[in-house]
Each structure stands twice: as C-alpha cells, then as structure tokens.
C-alpha cells in the first residue's frame, strides 16, 4: 500500500481557484433567481400566505389599500393607515381621514382648568351698558383685575372666544329664552354684552319688577327673553330684594310656573336652570295638599330636605319638555355653586380670593355635589324617556366644574358702589354667588357657542 503525500503548493493553488469559481457560479445563480422573481413579482402575491402560529398577531392592510400592481412598493396612502393589533382575529386598519374620531369630537368641554389669558376680557364696563350695578365690579371699585385674565381650557381641546357675528348671523329670525333665577339674569347680561360688539339690543318688554324682560336685535330679527322662574314650578314668594322673608315660601311641586310654559311654543332655543332657591324655608304642596316643608314654622308638617323638592321640580319640568309637541333645542344648565367662606350671605360670609382654584383645591362640597348629582340623574332619565323628542334636542350645559374653580370671580363686597369708602372695617354684605361682569360667567357663553358649532 503506497503512502498518500500531502498536495504540493501548486496543487493547493489549483484547488483554491476551482473552489472559488464554483462559489462565484452559485452566487450568480442566486442573484439571477432574485432578479427573475422581481420581474415576475405579481405571481409571488398569488401564492397562499404562510400560516401564522396559532394566537399570533397578523397584519392586514385597510380595504382599498391592498397591493394591486407589480413590484413590492406599497401605495403612499399606506402611511396614513392605523393598524390595530389583535391576538387571534385579523387586524383591521382604520383610515385616519375617515374612521378615527378627531380629538375635538371626543373632548369633554366641561372638564378642564383655567389658564392665563393675555387677551383680557371681551368687553368692559365702559363698552357694555347691560351690566347691572350688583355685577359691575369695576365701576363699584374692585381694586384687583387678575380675575379678568383667565380662560377656560378643557383637557384635550380648545374653546374659542364667543363669536357674536357668527352667532347672530346663524340665529336670524330665532327666539332664545333663558328661564330660571337671578343666575340666569347674570347669564343673559353676559350674552347681551358679547352680542353688543356686533349689534346693540333694544328692550321691548319688561315685567313690573324687571325680573322678566325681552330684547330684540332688529338687524338680525333675533329675540332674547329672560323669564323669571326661580323654582320652575309654581311658587308664592314673600321676600324682598335683600332676601328678607315675611312668610314661608309656598311651593307647588306638581305645577309648573305658567310664565314660561305659556310661552313655550314661541321659543326656538332655551337655556333653563334652577338651584340655590331650594335651600330656602318652604312649605311643599302636591295635589293641593301640604305634604311637608323645609325648616318651616309649622311643626306638624313632615320635615323634608331641599333635595326632595329639587328632584321633584326637575322631574316635572323635564316631563313637560320631553312630552311637549313643540321641540325647541333645550340646554339644561347645571348647578351654580357659591363660594362663601367664614359664614353664609346672612352671617358675614366673604369671598376675597383673587385667583382660581387649581383642580382638587375646592375642597369638600358635599351639598353642591349632591344637588349636581340629582340634576344629572334627572337629566339622564329625561333623555332616556324622551319619546318623540326630535333628535338630540335636550342637551346638558354642565358649567358646574368650571364655575366651582372660580372663587375669585364673584362680586363679593363690590355688589355695592365703593363699599369701603368709609374704611376697610365697614360692615359689608358679600355676594359670593353672582358673578362680576366681565368675568368667569362669560365662559358659559363660550362653551354654549362651541356646543352650537358642534351641531
């Protein structure tokens, strides 16, 4: 048997060359195959897809975005597709231009915070003649002005300033009614001031006490009515403008106040509300019989809390609104909180703050929150049982949170003209319920305008 010697250097070089040539040939064949696959690309997409492992996520293009031509380059529109991962079902892609809700559409207008506003108020006491004396804080000598430089900012969206021209142009020939207590009077003054930048209103009616009034904008044939109905239900009231009573209120919880129901068919839009009056001493009537009272002198009547009468009045009012054959657009405005500290209006309470609360700073507002929950429950019940009401014509104008955060916006001692002219120690009654004008209540109209624009 002969021995096998290792190859000579010359033989090694030949082997290397041969193997290198073979490698080049293999690479050429692979590249040629890839080139051919690209040239006949459409056929590749006719092959059945490789099955994904069970439970694994799969990705499918949106309808109308499938690859339809040769080559592997997707349409530019694919960049706009939003893909959702699922564990077992085929993925669907929502086109952002068509299916996904816009941030503005999902924004809660009533949940947010007050942020600085360098633009200042939309009007002043000098530019608007509709501000009544108890809310004319600037004329009455309020020394600070920081309360004028804030705007309401919902989380996730913006509320533009009220646009008086757009509002009046859109409301030609319409009749608005604001129905409720003195907070609604405060509200209507704000609305008139904002609109006066476009057209000055003419008063065409007022009641004997000026609590119910009506204004007309002749160039736009637009009417605004303020209707005094502090309980919405029928009430016999025995008190003066300073809140001093000579007898207990008589409140008929099953009978609505005719001064607003008798005019209902003339209204195209309604802002309606009630509130703080239910804390007053009152005797409650139903079916012509006294069924109880709140803090009344007649101790033979059953004591009932204000929550009882509040809920009953709301229920009757909503029943009328939803069952009436006339269907104006109705905004129910929620509870307006007061900000008395160190007492109430009748016991030396004050409101001397000069900046808004930050979220969470308002503290425990048990009664305010309780009344707010009641009205939202009754509103939800009304919407659920609205029957033949046309479309979404009953709306919630939920101003509670944005109002709660503004303890600095009330008239306070400046409900009176220069209350401290005789010295800062003077005994002055504060108003910590109504709002300075201009002031935070103007944001109610900003939000109202935004709600109208969304529709």
Torsion sign (Cα): 387, 389, 393, 399? negative
- Are the beta carbons of 173 and 222 closer than 8 angstroms? yes
According to the per-residue pLDDT averaged within each range, which of 229-243, 312-326, 341-355 is highest? 312-326
Largest CA distance in the chain: 139
Mean pLDDT across 252-268: 98
C-alpha closest to that of 394 among 311, 312, 308, 320: 320
pLDDT digits (tens, 9 = 90+) for 68-124: 333 333 333 333 333 232 333 332 222 333 444 455 567 899 999 999 999 999 999
146 is catalytic: no
Q: What is the pLDDT of residue 353?
A: 96
Using a pLDDT cut of 90, give the percent of the chain over it.
Answer: 66
pLDDT: is 390 or 339 the higher one? 339
- Output the pLDDT for position 407: 98
Count of Cβ atoms closer than 10 Å to residue 7 Cβ: 11
pLDDT exceeds 80 at position 11:
no
pLDDT of residue 96: 31
Q: Would you say how long the chain is, in residues?
A: 455
pLDDT tens digits, one per residue of 22-81: 545 545 555 555 444 444 443 333 333 333 333 333 333 333 333 333 333 333 333 333
pTM metric for this prediction: 0.77
Give me the pLDDT at residue 390, please: 55
Instruction: Tell me which of 403, 411, 434, 442 is the catalytic residue.
Output: 434
Least confident of 34-48, 187-201, 302-316, 405-419: 34-48
| Residue indicated by tokens 């900003």 | 446
* Mean pLDDT to the nearest integer, 134-146: 97
CATH of span 112-453: 3.40.50.1110
| pLDDT number for residue 359 | 82
pLDDT above 70 (res 18): no
- The active-site residue out of 181, 248, 408, 431 is 431
Mean local confidence (pLDDT), 186-195: 98
With tokens 């109705």, the residue in question is 330
- pLDDT, residue 297, reads 85
Helices 442-454 & 182-195 angle (0-180, nearest 10): 70
Q: What is the structure's pLDDT at 364?
A: 84
pLDDT of residue 246: 79
Q: Which tokens go with 239?
A: 């008190």
Catalytic site includes residue 245: no
pLDDT at 391: 52
pLDDT of residue 427: 84
- What average pLDDT does range 7-36 have in this prediction? 47
For residues 232 and 378, what is the distance between their CA atoms, to the nearest angstrom?
14
Lowest mean pLDDT among 7-11, 234-238, 324-328: 7-11
Answer yes or no: 80 catalytic: no
d(CA 441, CA 123): 13
Q: Which residue has the higher pLDDT, 297 or 256?
A: 256
Choice among 182, 190, 403, 411 that is catalytic: 182
Instruction: Let me know the angle formed at the C-alpha of 160 by 156 and 163, rounded to the nearest 5 degrees.
Output: 160
> Mean pLDDT across the chain, nearest whole number?
81
């Amino acid at each position: 048997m002969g021995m096998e010697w290792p190859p000579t250097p010359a033989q090694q070089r030949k082997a290397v060359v041969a193997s290198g040539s073979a490698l080049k040939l293999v690479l050429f064949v692979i590249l040629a195959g890839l080139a051919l696959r690209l040239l006949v690309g459409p056929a590749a997409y006719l092959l059945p897809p490789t099955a994904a492992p069970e439970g694994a996520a799969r990705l499918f293009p949106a309808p109308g975005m499938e690859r339809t031509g040769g080559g592997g380059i997707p349409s530019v529109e694919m960049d706009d597709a939003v893909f959702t991962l699922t564990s077992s079902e085929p993925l669907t892609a929502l086109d952002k231009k068509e299916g996904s809700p816009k941030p503005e559409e999902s924004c809660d207008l009533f949940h947010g915070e007050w942020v600085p506003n360098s633009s200042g108020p939309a009007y002043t006491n000098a530019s608007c003649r509709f501000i009544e004396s108890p809310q004319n804080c600037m004329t009455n000598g309020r020394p600070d002005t920081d309360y004028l430089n804030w705007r309401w900012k919902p989380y996730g969206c913006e509320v533009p300033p009220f646009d008086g021209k757009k509002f009046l142009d859109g409301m030609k020939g319409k009749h608005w009614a604001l129905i409720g207590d003195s907070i609604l009077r405060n509200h209507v003054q704000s609305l008139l001031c904002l609109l006066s930048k476009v057209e000055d209103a003419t008063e065409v009616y007022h009641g004997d006490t000026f609590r119910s009034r009506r204004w007309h904008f002749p160039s736009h044939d637009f009417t605004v009515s303020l209707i005094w109905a502090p309980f919405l239900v029928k009430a016999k009231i025995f008190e003066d403008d300073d809140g001093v009573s000579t007898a207990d209120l008589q409140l008929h919880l099953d009978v609505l106040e005719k001064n607003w129901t008798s005019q209902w068919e003339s209204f195209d839009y309604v802002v309606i509300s009630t509130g703080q009056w239910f804390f007053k001493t009152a005797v409650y009537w139903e079916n012509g019989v006294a069924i109880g009272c709140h803090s009344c002198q007649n101790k033979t009547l059953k004591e009932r809390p204000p929550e009882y009468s509040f809920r009953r009045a709301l229920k009757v009012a909503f029943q009328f609104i939803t069952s009436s054959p006339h269907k104006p657009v109705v905004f129910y405005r929620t509870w307006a909180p007061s900000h008395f500290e160190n007492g109430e209006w009748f016991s030396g309470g004050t409101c001397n703050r000069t900046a808004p609360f930050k979220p969470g700073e308002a503290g425990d507002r048990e009664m305010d929150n309780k009344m707010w929950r009641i009205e939202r429950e009754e509103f939800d019940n009304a919407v659920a049982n609205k029957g033949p009401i046309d479309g979404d014509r009953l709306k919630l104008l939920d101003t509670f949170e944005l109002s709660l955060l503004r303890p600095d916006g009330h008239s306070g001692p400046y409900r009176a003209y220069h209350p401290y002219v005789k010295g800062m120690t003077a005994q002055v009654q504060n108003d910590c319920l109504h709002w300075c004008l201009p002031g935070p209540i103007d944001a109610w109209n900003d939000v109202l305008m935004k709600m109208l624009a969304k529709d």
